[in-house]
Amino acid sequence: MTALMLAAGNGHLEVLRLLLAAGAAEDTWSHYDGKNALMLAADKGHLEVLRLLLEAGAAKDTWSHYDGKNALMLAASNGHLEVLRVLLEAGADKDPWSHYDGRNTLMLAADEGHLQVAGLLLEARADKDCCDDDGMTALMLAADNGHLEILRLLLEAGAAKDTWSHYDGKNALMLAASNGHLEVLRVLLEAGAEKDAWSHYDGRNALMLAADEGHLQVARLLLEASADKDCGDNNGMTALMLTADNGHLEVARLLLEAGADKNCCDDDGMTALLLAADKGHLEVAHLLRVKRRCQRRWMA
């Protein structure tokens, strides 16, 4: 770290002015994290320090060799709106991406939930549909983390809603379902997201993911949207079998009331009842056994 970098990182404007007047180099970077003075100022949100460095001719698009982020990306990641605005007005590239994980500025803002930052980037026509190294777009990151207003903003801007991650095969709807983000799921369904999309990784759809995690209200919303309740994953496991395996009593009750087939078998010949019994989920096993008896009496 040089004196200039320390002054910039700690927001000491007059010290920085003195050092620049004395001829200190503004673009020296740290061997530790690859940041230069401008990146340090952007990272900490020191707006006036950043302005001074730009006036002194600091390079605005230099990247850190440590995490691949530049000043604009650091400002976006930390929610420093005015720093971001100044950098964009100075001509900083709006769509840089990190060589570390492939994320661009908009993805970083979406991941952290910085609504105004995301809005400013969209106004600057940042790429809303590119993906990171795992195939995650800004919309998918917002859905994964439950950032509802950012998700709305991206949908209004025309972001693709059914893109899948090439890492685990999930799309935005599946991510929201898996993490129990009910309102995010509702907005995606209202926007026309495919309710029965399935992951190429394990063959699971949104309802299976919600059932597996025990998210009752999410499962209810998907059933109200007529999601397929009896399709199986790559191992033949249905939503009812997944919830029985994990002991989620109320989700099991919901699925049975919706008419889920309790007699389906997975690839090992296990039914929901056998899975519940195997794991010792007494109440779920009792529920499934009672339902089986009721069905037999009705058929007789």
Return the higher-pLDDT residue of 293 and 108: 108
Spell out the alpha helix ranges (H) of 160-238.
172-179, 182-190, 206-213, 216-224
Share of the chain above pLDDT 70, in %: 95
Burial of 135 by CB count in 10 Å (0-12 exposed, 13-18 middle, 19+ buried)? middle
Could you give the CA distance from residue 270 to residue 286 in angstroms, rounded to a whole number? Answer: 16
Q: Is the pLDDT of residue 297 over 60?
A: no
- Would you state the pLDDT for residue 28? 72
Burial of 226 by CB count in 10 Å (0-12 exposed, 13-18 middle, 19+ buried)? exposed
- Would you state the pLDDT for residue 299? 34
Average pLDDT over residues 50-59: 94
Spell out the alpha helix ranges (H) of 99-181.
105-112, 115-123, 138-145, 148-156, 172-179
Tell me phi and psi for residue 178, to 5 degrees. -60, -35
For the domain covering 1-127, report its CATH number.
1.25.40.20
Q: DSSP letter for 229, please.
A: S
What is the end-to-end Cα distance of the chain in Å, rounded?
83
Closest CA to 119 of 157, 83, 147: 157
Average pLDDT over residues 124-131: 96
Could you give the CA distance from residue 27 to residue 20 in angstroms, rounded to a whole number? Answer: 11
Return the higher-pLDDT residue of 50 and 98: 50
pLDDT in tens, 142-155: 999 999 999 999 99
Classified as helix, coil or strand, 205 is strand
Q: Band the pLDDT of 291: cuts 50, 70, 90.
A: low
pLDDT in tens, 72-96: 999 999 999 999 999 999 999 999 8
- Do 103 and 135 touch, CB atoms closer than 8 A? no
- Would you state the pLDDT for residue 293? 47
- Do 75 and 87 touch, CB atoms closer than 8 A? yes
pTM: 0.91
